Amino acid sequence: MPNVKDFIRTIPDFPKPGIQFRDVTTLFNDARGFRMAVDQLLHPYAGAQIDKVAGLEARGFILGGAVAHQLGKGFVPIRKKGKLPGKTVEQAYQLEYGEAVMELHDDALQPGERVLLVDDLLATGGTAEAGIRLIEKLGAEVIACAFVIDLPDLGGRKLLEKLGVPVHALCAFEGD
């Protein structure tokens, strides 16, 4: 029986030499693989009190939207700076070379709401941490983060768990 990892393509030397890029578009392209991933992402949270699902730009929109639909909950996009119309809150985070900023509409969440944060890949955890901080700025609580892929050697899981946020990942690729 196939697992989610079987549907993920590895592209060597992208975006630069030495990087093994884990491409989830092949997972999305396969109906059975995509359904399996969505079902496995939401499974630990079926029956849990969740008010909204938030997704990180851009593949987190695809996964988070599908998870929100299956759970019967609303979806909240967390976007790169300058992409959302209206009033936003923002959070800077560190990239390998420099800094970036994520934004969330300032009325996307209400104080006390419980949020599941979804994305395709957990590497260093910087983007997910920025998402958590944005959600918390609006007074909501991140109950967990769910990812298709964890790259454990890059430390993202440890960072998020230090923040008190449980992490659920469908598969891991060591050494990346």
Residues annotated catalytic, as ranges: 59, 96
Q: In what order do the strands lie in the sheet with 52-56?
A: 88-95, 98-105, 74-80, 52-56, 114-122, 141-150, 167-172
Dig out the tokens for 63 from the structure.
């996964």
Q: E strands, the chain, where?
A: 9-12, 20-23, 52-56, 74-80, 88-95, 98-105, 114-122, 141-150, 167-172
DSSP 44: G
Distance from C-alpha of 64 to C-alpha of 66, rounded to nearest angstrom: 5
Dig out the tokens for 61 from the structure.
């929109």
Tell me how far the alpha carbon of residue 77 is from its chain's centroid: 10
Are 139 and 110 in contact by the 8 Å Cβ rule? The answer is yes
